[in-house]
Chains A and B, each alone.
Chain A
């Protein structure tokens, strides 16, 4: 029997292609369902493991490796400097306005 929608290929190949498409989709679903189940179970697993491997505010986890912070420090300092500069400008403008009003 030839499926009308796949008339350009022979029967064996048609069924083989349909089988591959179905199986392929099934495999993708299986893998992602398993990943989904694992994600759903992960908080529970971690709660059980908390006795052995407690999740604390690990300083390393919060701040990253000291070596990796080098270029961030410059950015943070620049941001602090910018905020200080802006605040001082505002303060200066407010002082000048007060002086003029008085």
Chain B
């Protein structure tokens, strides 16, 4: 009987807390959202399962969590805590991305910069709430709407907040179709939403080959802090566009990115242990994250309207909302909102330009914050 009681003391039933129960329910909710609503299933299923695994209470001295040196989860989480996984994800994204639409209409690149206003205003908001400078920088990058970038910067600047920042970034990325449309409609008139844009010009193979090397040099000479993320992004794109390394590009955009996504999602989920995650700071981070997405969307739309003051060939301001770098979800939202006004208006290709520019912009913003705040 004593042995049984001793064993019972080590079970989850004996040592579970309310916090663990809440986090397990959140994990289940993530999995259900992914399966039933198809919200970012590739991320929410690993994160949800990770949250369940990370919140199973273990007996004293067993040391199974991500923070217990030597445990399996500790080693899986190493790729997150040391910022290894995000650049590998960027390699895969680069190998998937077609920069043609951006190359055919370079002025749309500016919308990707305008949307980064969300990053810097959220930084100010977090600072105002009393977070340290480094923490505020890590929280601000949620406004970049780029999960890997948010994880990379949080790992460098505020490792304690990493779980909350990663969950906030990915949750809001999944909620792009819910958050963006009301803001887009609020800031544009029907006439503006009906603007049709000229089809993009054909881009030569040589332009596509030169672009990743040149863009990498330009951006990292200005913001060297972005060298890892942008180096991998443009390296992946060069693998794709060089046409002689198709096998490597295929591996980067399929098997490799899948493996890293599984490891990253699961270990980030496992890091949301209730005692570290369920804090008032996490709630503040979630609030700031929602605000940053809204500001970034508004920034892109308003800047498109500002550009229209000087352009003879007008931009549909909805396209500005794709400046947040949630690729390709925000571009799809632009297409959806545009087609609600005019079913024959195809904005998807145009929206992809600020969308991929937003990826570059948020990586540069992360580089700037990392350089200054470390």
Contact stretch, chosen from B74-82, B182-190, B209-217:
B209-217
Chain B residues numbered 111-158 whose CB sits less than 8 Å from any CB in chain A: 112-113, 116-117, 119-121, 123-124, 127-130, 133, 136
Closest chain B residue to A40 by CB distance?
A: B106
Closest chain B residue to A70 by CB distance?
A: B247
Chain B interface mostly: helix
C-alpha gap A37/B107 in the complex (Å):
8
The answer to whether B205 touches A18 (Cβ under 8 A) is: no
The answer to whether B123 touches A60 (Cβ under 8 A) is: no
Q: How many A-B residue pairs have CB under 8 A?
A: 131
Partner of B211, one of A13, A29, A42, A64: A42
C-alpha gap A19/B133 in the complex (Å):
13
Known A-B contacts A6-B127, A17-B133, A46-B204; the reply to A65 vs B246 at CB < 8 A is yes
Residue B344, interface by CB 8 Å: no
The answer to whether A65 touches B368 (Cβ under 8 A) is: no
The answer to whether A65 touches B128 (Cβ under 8 A) is: no
C-alpha gap A38/B103 in the complex (Å):
10
Contact stretch, chosen from A20-28, A78-86, A93-101:
A20-28
Q: Number of B interface residues, CB 8 Å?
A: 47
Contact stretch, chosen from B6-14, B284-292, B356-364:
B356-364
Residue B244, interface by CB 8 Å: yes
Residue B365, interface by CB 8 Å: yes
Interface size class of A (residues with CB under 8 A): 35 or more
Chain B contact residues, CB within 8 Å of chain A: 102-103, 106-107, 109-110, 112-113, 116-117, 119-121, 123-124, 127-130, 133, 136, 204-207, 210-211, 214-215, 218-219, 222-223, 243-247, 250, 357, 360-361, 364-365, 368-369, 372
